[in-house]
Amino acid sequence: MLKIAVSGSSGRMGNRIIALSQESEELTLSGALEHKGHGDEGKDIGEVIGIGKIGVIVSSDIQDVTADADVIIDFSSPSGTIHALKLISDKPVPFVIGTTGFSKDEIEYIRLYAQKTPCVFAPNMSVGVNILLKVLDDIARVTGDDYDVEIVEAHHRLKKDAPSGTAMKMAQVLAAALGRNLDDTAVFERHGLIGERTKKEIGIQTIRAGDIVGEHTVLFGGLGERIEITHKASSRDTFARGALRAALWLRKQTPGLYDMQDVLGLK
Ligand code: NAD
């Protein structure tokens, strides 16, 4: 039985991961982490998420929460993730990191941490999006510079980072397949007299509205035709199930930084 602790336990994703972990015969919940001063500290997480007492108390003490865990599943905030990794770096525990919005330095810190223990780090844990990443690579290699590439993403009004981590991952996959440097070619907004589209730009546009769980469309625009591929998440459970799958997969891995393509055997 794999013991998991969830960081960001009172959040939208934390709630679903905890609820689904209760249905699993392979996993058990050993800890629930929230930031210091959170209103749920000291409460039973089962009661917090409305499934009744499960005997796991929400705590802000990372050492306490991780002491008994085989894997931490983290859907918190970039500063929360890095803070937790730093506090346990001398006694590293495998991490599944679903949090998005990290800076380059923070990603470098995650890389260093993962040299000591296996970690999965993926901006999107759904099976569908990860299959899509593979397909995007295939398409871009064939269409090359003859087709304009645009990414449009839409999420709920409460999402804090933009563009989504998934859109950025898609952009990285496309840039790599097209032999481009994303820093030089990404275009995040257009306004005013912008002139003609340059051949190598990769457009990445953001929509924020209502309760959209997560939608991504990649458009390859050629002369006389276009390809549009869309993924729509209709429930957060798709990400939560992916995170639990990643946690189970991690227990057999050696130290290193993995992504969902590794977990799903898509590489
Ligand atoms: P949310 O705001 O509902 O939940 C985040 C939770 O983390 C909150 O309860 C907050 O109190 C807690 N938190 C903040 N700082 C913390 C700290 N230092 N220690 C412990 N807990 C802390 O957000 P959400 O919708 O659940 O999303 C969380 C993150 O996961 C975001 O970065 C989001 O973009 C990302 N996300 C990733 C995927 C994926 O598949 N990888 C899917 C959905 C969301």
Instruction: Report which DSSP code applies to 25.
Output: S
Shared domain check, 73 and 11: yes
Q: pLDDT value at position 3?
A: 98
Could you tell which of 10, 60, 72, 76 is best to mutate to test the pocket of ligand 1, judged by most ligand atoms within 8 Å of the CB? 76
**Residue 209: pLDDT above 90?**
yes
Domain count across the chain: 2
Give yes or no for residue 245 CB within 6 A of ligand 1: no
Place of tokens 């001398």: 90
- Residue 62 sits in the same domain as residue 132: no
Judge contact between 58 and 64, C-beta under 8 A.
no
Clarify whether residues 227 and 241 are in a common domain.
Answer: no
pLDDT digits (tens, 9 = 90+) for 242-262: 999 999 999 999 999 999 999
* Structure confidence at residue 148 (pLDDT): 98
Residue 227 CA, ligand 1 centroid: distance in Å = 33
- Which CATH number belongs to the domain containing residue 227 in this structure? 3.30.360.10
Residue 34 beta carbon below 6 angstroms from any ligand 1 atom? yes
Q: 155 catalytic, yes or no?
A: yes
CATH of the domain at 18: 3.40.50.720
Range of the domain at 56: 2-121+236-263
- For the Cβ of 15 lying below 6 angstroms from any atom of ligand 1, the answer is no
Can you give the pTM of this predicted structure? 0.91
Average pLDDT, the chain: 96
Which position among 38, 116, 159, 200 bears the catalytic label?
A: 159
Smallest CA-to-CA distance from 6 within 87, 83, 98, 90 is with 98
pLDDT for 100: 93
User: Rounded to the nearest whole angstrom, what is the distance from the C-alpha of residue 189 to the centroid of ligand 1?
Assistant: 26
Mean pLDDT on 232-242: 96
Residues 224, 161 share a domain: yes
Quote the tokens at residue 143: 């269409």
Q: Residue 142: what residue type?
A: V
CA distance 249 to 2: 10
State yes or no: pLDDT of 99 exceeds 90: yes
> Tokens in use for 201?
């730009």
Q: How far is the CA of 78 from the centre of ligand 1 (A)?
A: 9
pLDDT value for 45: 98
Distance CA 264, CA 127 (A): 8
Model confidence band, residue 267 (pLDDT cutoffs 50, 70, 90): confident
228 and 242 in a single domain? The answer is no
Residues 15, 106 share a domain: yes
The span from the CA of 16 to the CA of 261, in Å, is 22
Q: Average the pLDDT over 17-39 and give the result.
A: 96
Read off the amino acid at residue 156.
H
- Ligand 1, pocket-test mutation among 77, 110, 161, most atoms within 8 A of CB: 77
The residue contributing the CA closest to ligand 1 atom 39 is 124
Same-domain pairing of 93 and 151: no
Instruction: Quick: pLDDT tens for 111-150.
Output: 999 999 999 999 999 999 999 999 999 999 999 999 999 9
Q: What is the pLDDT of residue 216?
A: 98
**116 and 224 share a domain?**
no
Would you state the structure tokens that stand for residue 61, as one six-digit string? Answer: 């003490």
Does residue 97 share a domain with residue 17?
Answer: yes
Q: 169: Cβ–Cβ under 8 A, 6 or more apart, which residues?
A: 122, 123, 124, 133
DSSP letter for 252, please: T
- Same domain as 241, residue 110: yes
In the chain, which ranges are E strands? 2-7, 27-33, 58-59, 71-74, 95-97, 118-121, 148-155, 186-187, 202-208, 214-221, 226-233, 256-258
Same domain, 117 and 240: yes
Residue nearest to atom 15 of ligand 1 (CA): 80
Ligand 1 neighbourhood includes 101 CB (under 6 angstroms): yes
Cα 171 to Cα 149: distance, rounded to the nearest angstrom: 9
> What are φ and ψ of residue 169, in 5° steps?
-65, -45
Pocket of ligand 1 contains residue 98 by CB under 6 Å? yes
pLDDT at residue 67 tops 90:
no
Tell me the two tokens of residue 69: 């865990």
Coil vs helix vs strand at 104: helix
